[in-house]
Every structure is written in C-alpha cells, then in structure tokens.
Chain A
Amino acid sequence: MPYCPNCGGENPEIASFCGLCGAALYAAPPLGPPQPPPPPAHAAVGAPSQAATSARPAGILHWTTSFALATNRFVLYDMAKVFFWTGLILSLIGVPIALANGAGRASLEEWVNVLGMFTLILCAMVLLFVLIMVVFFGNRFRAWFYLGPQGMAYETRSRRATWSNRAAIVAGILGASAGAVGAGLIASSQEEMFTPWCEVKRVKVHPRFCVISVMNGWRVLFRLYCTPANYEEAERLVRHYAAGAAVTGGLA
C-alpha cells in the first residue's frame, strides 16, 4: 500500500498518483509516459501548452466521491435536455398528424392544447424526479471514477441506486410490466461504464465545479465529478490521454 508523500493518504497498489491530493506517489513514473500525442484537431481554448501537459508523467487516478443531484446544474441540464428533445420529437410527429387529420386549424388548435398539457406533464415529471433525488437519494450520489491509459471508468457506489434498479426489475417481472423491467435493466446497465480514449472527441472542463465533461462527436459520454483535492490532476490526465480532443474551458 503506497502512502502519499504529500498528504499521507493510503493508496491502492496500482495508483501512481494520490487519490486524495493528486500528488505523485513515486519519484519515477511507474507507467512510462505515452507516446507524444498527435496535434489536436481543434485549437484548445485555455489549454496548457504541450510542454506543460507532457512535463509530468501520466498514470492512473481513481477516486470515490459523492456528487449532488438536484442542486447540480449538470444533472438538471441533462434532465432538461432529455425532456426538451422528447417534447420536440413528439411535436414534430404530432403536428403533421394533426394537420393531416383533416380538421385543419381546429385540429391544430387542439394539438396546441395537447402540447400545453404535455408540457405541464413534463414539468410535473421533472418535479417528481427532483423529489426522488432529494427524498430517496438525499440529494447525493456516491460513485467511483477511474482515469487510466486505456480509458475512463465509472461505477455506481450507491446501494440505494443498485437496490432500486434490482427492485424495479423484480417488481416489473412480478407485475408483468415490461416498462418497469426495461427501465430497471437500462438503469442497471448504467451502473458500470467504461469509455476508451479513442471515443473522446471533445472535452469541456469546469474547474469552478470540479467537473470534466467528456464528449464524443454529439453527446456527453461521461461527466467526471472530481474533488477539489484531485481536480487538477484529473484535468491534467484527461488532457494528456485525450490529447486529440478539443478541450474548452480550464484552469489556464
């Protein structure tokens, strides 16, 4: 068990950097620095220079942390995005159907009313989800994150989440509800995730919140919820391993 020379924290054998304060655990890098990364496809905004990112060795960083749910702008934004796209897609499907129904303007007015009702239902669902986050999860979610040469990983460490996922599946089977089973299975499949660096096309860093958003060409793959103790090291590793990705934001 290596101990951190900076903070004294206990670290697992595979760690090359302290999971608590981010300091290097060894004088020499246990894992050799990777090959110089290819030049970034896009100009990185606010990114440190190439020399700065490769001056320190790369390695492995992993940590367990709790992140906020209802009072977290990223969670709220992701939820709002899902509901917005759901509403938009339903509108795009519904308006032509309403128009083709023959009643013309009257039918369209009916559809506008339906859309208004649908918006109210969506708002109620958002409120319900926020209530679940606050009441059931206590507005926090414990998870384990990993950054290494192969990619990044995430694992749910919230027992409530894993139990509720299993409960949804069992309740769905007992109640013959395919929807509940499906929801439980989808949630279970998200309990552990791994993304190789080759899939990463864009990175957006949010040092104010110690969050790093890792994206492919069109969506967020991962949100790395770091701690103030390891954020700088996590950002450095992401910049190092995802060297081909466009990075926006940052400490620099």
Chain B
Amino acid sequence: MIALIQRLLLLGGLCAAAWDFTYSPPQLVAARAIDAKAEYLKRYGPVPRYRFGAMGAAEALIRQETNPGSVEAYRAGLFKRTVAADPSWPAGLVADLVAAAKGGGPYAERFAKSYVYFAAGEPLFAGIAPQLRESLKKTGYLNAYCETGGRDMEFMYHAEPHSSSAPVGVLFPQRGRAWLWVAGTLGAYLLLLPLTRGSGAHHDLAALAALDLLCAFPAAFFFGLPFRVCDSTQAALDDPLGGPVWSWAVTAVLALALIGLARRAAWRLEVDGQTLKLSTLFGTQQIPLSAIARVALHEAGEGNDFSGIDIRLADGRVVAVDWTGLADFLPIFDYFRRYGVLQAKPATNLS
C-alpha cells in the first residue's frame, strides 16, 4: 500500500505544483498616475525636433491643422469614463504608482509597460473592480479615470489576464510556491523509497522509480497546460469540456500508468521461515512450503512470452510467477532447488 500512497503523493504533489505554477487571477486591474497636461502636450504640442522625414512632417501638419482645445477640455474628454475613487486608498497611493514607474516604491515589481498591475480581487482595488467591469462593458477596451487627492489616475481592466503585459509576479502569483511543492514532493517520494524495499524477489525498483518520474512529470504538465493556455485559471475551470478535457485525459492515463507501476512495486515473493509469501498491492498470500507439490519451470516459446515458474500446490491450485523483469529471484530459485520441489516441465521450445 505504501507503493500506491507514494505514487499518489508524487502525482498529487506535482499536480499541486503545476496548479501553483500556472495559477493566474481571474481578472487584473492596471493602474497608473497620469498628468493630463503633460499628455496633452505630448499629443498636441509641437513635434519634437528629432522626428525627421515624411512622418515627422505629416505629424506636424496634423497637429497644425487640429484644434485640440484646452488642456481642461482634453482632461474633461478623458473623464467621461470615470470610476469613483475609493476613500480607503492610502494617501501616498499616487506617489507610489509614480515611484513604481521609476523602479522604486512598494509596487516596483508590479510595474510593466507604464502600468502597475494588481489582481482584481486584491483589497486595494477590490472596491472599484465592479465599476471597472461595468465601464468595460460600456466602452469596450477603453480605460477609465478617477481623481484622488488632486491627482488623476488611469485604470485598465483585464478580463483575460494572459493577454495583458502584467509581470510574472502578478500574473502567476503562486509560482514561487510551486518549486516548494516540487522539492517537497520529490523529498517525500525519496524518503518513502526505502520503505518499499524489502527482502525477496521484486521488480527493479530503480527502473520503476525512473518510470514514476517519467509518468508523473508529464501528468503534471498536462494537468497544468489548460490553465496556462486558457485566458486564466478560472477560464479553464469554466469550460472543462472544451480543450482542457483532452489534456486532463492524458493526465488520467498517466495516473493509471502510475497505479500500474505501484502494483509492480508492491509485488514481492519471499520465503519467510516455512512460508512462501506473495505480496501484492492489496494483500499478502501465504503459502506454507509443505503445501507446495512441485515448482515447474515455464520457458518462453513460440507464441508464449511467459517466462517463469508455476508453483503447483498440493490442493491442485497453480500460482504462476512471471520472472520477467524481477530482481533477486536467484535465492528463491535456489531455495526451491534445495527444498527439492523444483521440477521442469518438458521444454516448450529449445530450438
């Protein structure tokens, strides 16, 4: 049973790691402090001297022929799409957003491409997230604005976080924990490994361990793949019968393979005193040596891949043991030979 628990822990731990590695918030809010006057000048002011050629001339012409109105009119145009400022915002919020753009302040690591990104559910912007969602419905992709403490702020609402430019730390906030899961899971797997050892003939545990990893890592990969490919974790969970089901089907197949490996890892044949013990995943069969009538060799031959022994019991039952891939079978075989029950069947194929 330890073999099964060990593999389920491995699969569960790595899938948890895949979940943490790919988890992204359902929606994001991007914020920045704006200076309406500076933006007005940037957009409608004189064309900078470094712009040469036809494009520079065209831009100059457009600006010359455009009547942008006043700075106040420009700002009023922006503030057609507004959200109400949250009174619980800290006083230094705008200053922190400005500092982030310069690589400082508490939000420096959340800054990317002019904006500071937050999960929509974070307390700071949880209050305005519903307003932004409504604003998005009315205005499509356009941004919303608000004024707080005499400064203007601009917000973007990302309903599809994977399409945003948010930094990895905001987009995948639990990624650091994923490595802990991987390390912890592998550690637990290795710690349980000696418990699956024991005396007697058994399958090659090193090969099984290699196959465990070869199954568990891809299983976790295919478990996490939909969360990465869809717009967010929630988007994958909301439509499981779309693309995700195929990926998770692969995970299920690999999980079944792991159970098969657990079955092999738990298999053991050993002589304990006067008893032959055959252990499997779900129990142990004890055969008194006195109950063994004979042990017949069974060799692979034409149309027959079975290579092992048939343990024929006195009551007529036969326990077939396939020694393909078994380690440490030699002492068991010697024991049968010494015990005098070993008897070969006529060879099936010796050509």
Q: Are A9 and B347 in contact (CB under 8 A)?
A: yes
Checking B218, B305, B343 against A8 with a beta-carbon cut-off of 8 angstroms, the contacting residue is B343
Q: Are A67 and B325 in contact (CB under 8 A)?
A: yes
- B289 near A: Cβ within 8 Å? no
Q: Are B207 and A130 in contact (CB under 8 A)?
A: no
In Å, the complex CA distance between A127 and B212 comes to 11
B345 partner residues in chain A, CB cutoff 8 A? 9
Known contacts: A9-B297, A67-B325. The answer to whether A20 contacts B210 by CB under 8 A is: no
B217 partner residues in chain A, CB cutoff 8 A? 123
Q: Are A9 and B346 in contact (CB under 8 A)?
A: yes
Interface residues on A, range: 35 or more
In Å, the complex CA distance between A20 and B307 comes to 11
- A107 near B: Cβ within 8 Å? no
Q: Are B208 and A12 in contact (CB under 8 A)?
A: no
B7 to chain A, nearest CB (A): 14
- B350 near A: Cβ within 8 Å? yes
CB-defined interface of A57-83 with B at 8 Å, one 1/0 digit per residue? Answer: 000001111111011110010000000
CB-defined interface of B289-333 with A at 8 Å, one 1/0 digit per residue? Answer: 000000001011110011100000000000000011101111011
Complex interface: stretch among A108-116, A166-174, A183-191, A206-214? A206-214
Interface residues on B, range: 35 or more
- B268 near A: Cβ within 8 Å? no
Q: Are B305 and A66 in contact (CB under 8 A)?
A: yes
B257 partner residues in chain A, CB cutoff 8 A? 134
In Å, the complex CA distance between A73 and B204 comes to 7
Q: Are B299 and A63 in contact (CB under 8 A)?
A: yes
CB-CB nearest in chain B for A19: B350
Q: Are A64 and B297 in contact (CB under 8 A)?
A: no
Q: Are A10 and B346 in contact (CB under 8 A)?
A: yes
In Å, the complex CA distance between A76 and B214 comes to 11
B278 to chain A, nearest CB (A): 16
In Å, the complex CA distance between A123 and B218 comes to 9
Checking A7, A67, A126 against B297 with a beta-carbon cut-off of 8 angstroms, the contacting residue is A7
A25 to chain B, nearest CB (A): 12
A227 partner residues in chain B, CB cutoff 8 A? 299, 307, 323
- A142 near B: Cβ within 8 Å? yes
B184 to chain A, nearest CB (A): 22
CB-CB nearest in chain B for A9: B344
A63 partner residues in chain B, CB cutoff 8 A? 299, 350
A140 partner residues in chain B, CB cutoff 8 A? 305, 324-325
A62 partner residues in chain B, CB cutoff 8 A? 350
In Å, the complex CA distance between A47 and B305 comes to 33
CB-CB nearest in chain A for B205: A73
B344 partner residues in chain A, CB cutoff 8 A? 4, 7-9, 20-21
Additional A-B contacts beyond A65-B299, A130-B214, A140-B325 (18; CB < 8 A): A7-B344, A8-B343, A8-B344, A19-B347, A20-B297, A21-B297, A63-B299, A66-B307, A71-B203, A71-B211, A71-B264, A73-B204, A76-B210, A124-B218, A134-B257, A207-B330, A228-B330, A229-B297
5 A-B interface contacts by CB (under 8 A):
A8-B346, A20-B299, A142-B300, A210-B329, A231-B330
**Residues of B in contact with A (beta carbons under 8 Å apart):** 203-204, 206-208, 210-211, 214, 217-218, 257, 264, 297, 299-302, 305-307, 323-325, 327-330, 332-333, 337, 342-347, 349-351
Give the 6 A-B CB pairs with smallest separation, nearest first: A68-B325, A7-B344, A228-B333, A9-B344, A66-B307, A73-B207
